[in-house]
Structure 1
Amino acid sequence: MDSEALATFLAVHRRGGVSAAADELARTQSAISRRLALLEQEVGAPLFERIGRGLVLSEVGAALLPYAERVAAAIGDAQAAAEAARTGAGGTVQVVTVGTLANAALASALQRARARQPGLDLRLQTATSAEVSAQVRSGAASIGLRYFDDAGAGLECRTVHTERLVVVCSPSHPLAGKRVKTLSQLAGERWLAFPAPERRSEAFATTVFAQFTTRGIDRLDWIAIDSLTAQKRLVQAGFGLALLQASAVDEELAKRELAVLKVGDLDVAVPVVLVTRQGGYLSGGAKAVLRELMRPVR
């Protein structure tokens, strides 16, 4: 059982299939399948079960997962420490974030970190909240930004700020800029939201639907849109309403491309959490990035 085999196993788990893992690792599908088969032969049992079009961990795979993550993390730490000692610079810092948090505030924080650490090589990747935790836990990323705390072992979670949610609509919507007493009054509208039941769903999506279920509304006319930009453009065009982070629509509101529909009984914010690995190695560059991400958002 070598580190390459475990890295293949982790990639298949993270991406939910051989094809996606092959893309991530820049290998052919046959190479990934062969490496996985050899590992399964070594442990003496299947590591995955096929559910629909994807793969999920078997009982044996679930038992192997935390140990594979520790091995991958230790290798990543060793590589980062060696690079920092060799170059004396900030090194390469892998940051993974939920796509909706890859905004101007994040870009500014990363820019400040680079200014403090000349030669810092920042690599940014987007993922769902669950995937953010998995990548940090396995050492594939040093720092993660996600929604809500992760109660799983091996991670340190710090809430850095909260994202207030607002209902946005087209400026031409009859209720644009107006106020309704309760969200229930908007249950008959068409809504645009991130996919909730899918394997790669975002924790934030659950929060959106919870606003209606807590008010006794379990059926909505809604369209799943797995892109913040696409949601905003469709709302702008009048195809529905969306419950989005206020910071994500500041620019569109300033340009009057979107409007806010005020709701009297809606006062919701979701926590944005900074995730690092307990006991993980942090280079000077990673520490600089952490300092900037922990600065209050204005």
Structure 2
Amino acid sequence: MIAPRRFLPSVSSLLALEAVERLGTATAAAEELALTHSAVSRQLKALEEQIGVPLFRREGKGLALTPVGADYAASIRDYLQDLARASLRIRAAGSRSSLTLSVLPAFGTHWLLPRLQGFAQLHPEITVNLATRLSPFDFTREKFDAAIHFGGRDWQGVKYLPLAREQVIPAASPKLVPQGQITPERLLTLPLLHLESRPGAWEDWFARHGCEAEHLRGMLFDQFSQMAEAAALGFGVALLPRFLAEAEFRSGRLHPLSDSHTEVDGRYFVVWPQFRNASKPLQKFLHWLGSEAEPT
């Protein structure tokens, strides 16, 4: 249920408040909003009268936000951003339906996007929008229809569709390791690059190859793409998933240090919230994505 209109200020007055809080003066806000100083002042006065709480105080010839006004400005900033994003989604989609999908950046770039053209050809009436998230989030707070998730079934309140297993391989710049494939023992002597979302990945890889390794250290990254770039520049060896490693091998920037990929724990899933029914566009997307998934 929408609140009564008396509690809903105009968007123009909220824009004026947000701009004054962010820029520091009504003059700067007026310039950004392409309004006169007096127009901004009228918007602020009308907002204050509607809210019924002092939002500003006079300081010389200027205005300063009260603590309550500053808090209110910060809280409405998210609302204005959500409104802008919603409007942009509608404008971009036009008369078509749209889906907004949260993706892990490397998986989205190298696994999903190459396949997504097939969905676009099959369902030209649906636009799929992608945005990056690196960890699980609250679907009640984020405006996503579904998300790509890696790991186990540890995201609460969602349904799961398995997509792909994780297969990894150590990769390095030919400048760092000219000879290519090397033994795990030799690999242990090289600088190793690590990913925040894969703690213990190197220790697990060495264990699967019969080589004991503990408390490994090295540069830490939050995205596969950054780690791959560092490896290509010679900073160390990266443990990369198949979908990214193969692209790097084709480019020649990296080459494999092992003769095969190693399957590890964890899978890629598409997840969507249990608390609401999947929309028709989402149902079509999930059906198509299921046909693209690896056999379980």
| SS in structure 2 of the partner of residue 173 of structure 1 | coil
> Structure 1: which 5+ residue stretches go unaligned?
4-21, 23-29, 39-78, 197-201
Distance 2:111 2:135 in 1: 18
Q: Which amino acid aligns with 2:173?
A: S
Corresponding residue for residue 34 of structure 1:
72
Q: Does 1:160 align with 2:163?
A: yes
| SS in structure 2 of the partner of residue 206 of structure 1 | coil
Distance 2:69 2:125 in 1: 35
Q: Does 1:288 align with 2:284?
A: yes
Corresponding residue for residue 241 of structure 2:
245
Asked if structure 1 preserves the Cα contact closer than 8 Å seen for 2:203 and 2:216, the reply is no
| SS in structure 2 of the partner of residue 218 of structure 1 | coil
What is the identity percentage for the equivalent residue pairs of Structure 1 and Structure 2? 15
Deviation at 1:95, TM superposition (A): 0.2
| SS in structure 2 of the partner of residue 129 of structure 1 | coil
Asked if structure 2 preserves the Cα contact closer than 8 Å seen for 1:110 and 1:289, the reply is no
Corresponding residue for residue 123 of structure 2:
117
Corresponding residue for residue 100 of structure 2:
94
CA-atom RMSD in angstroms = 3.7
Asked if structure 2 preserves the Cα contact closer than 8 Å seen for 1:164 and 1:270, the reply is no
Bigger relative CO (Cα 8 Å, ≥ 6 apart): 1
Deviation string for 1:170-194 (max 9, x for gaps)? 12333643241x3x54233212222
Q: Which amino acid aligns with 2:231?
A: V
Distance 2:169 2:179 in 1: 12
Q: Which amino acid aligns with 2:274?
A: Q
Distance 1:139 1:265 in 2: 35
Asked if structure 2 preserves the Cα contact closer than 8 Å seen for 1:109 and 1:289, the reply is no
Change (3 A) 1:209 1:174: closer
Q: Which amino acid aligns with 2:149?
A: R
Deviation at 1:280, TM superposition (A): 2.1
Matches within 5 A, 1:48-127: 91-127=97-133
Deviation at 1:101, TM superposition (A): 1.0
| SS in structure 2 of the partner of residue 275 of structure 1 | strand
Change (3 A) 1:91 1:264: closer
Asked if structure 1 preserves the Cα contact closer than 8 Å seen for 2:194 and 2:238, the reply is yes
Q: Which amino acid aligns with 1:206?
A: P
| SS in structure 1 of the partner of residue 291 of structure 2 | coil
Deviation at 1:269, TM superposition (A): 5.4
Matches within 5 A, 1:136-155: 136=139, 138=141, 140-155=143-158
Number of equivalenced pairs = 214
Asked if structure 1 preserves the Cα contact closer than 8 Å seen for 2:203 and 2:213, the reply is no
Distance 1:100 1:93 in 2: 20
Deviation at 1:97, TM superposition (A): 1.2
Asked if structure 2 preserves the Cα contact closer than 8 Å seen for 1:91 and 1:285, the reply is yes
Deviation at 1:275, TM superposition (A): 0.6
Change (3 A) 1:103 1:216: same
Deviation at 1:212, TM superposition (A): 6.6
| SS in structure 2 of the partner of residue 161 of structure 1 | strand
Deviation at 1:160, TM superposition (A): 1.4
Asked if structure 1 preserves the Cα contact closer than 8 Å seen for 2:231 and 2:254, the reply is yes
TM-score, normalized by length of structure 2?
A: 0.60
Matches within 5 A, 1:183-222: 185-194=186-195, 196=196, 202=197, 205-211=198-204, 217-222=213-218
Q: Which amino acid aligns with 1:118?
A: P
Q: Does 1:236 align with 2:242?
A: no
Asked if structure 2 preserves the Cα contact closer than 8 Å seen for 1:93 and 1:285, the reply is yes
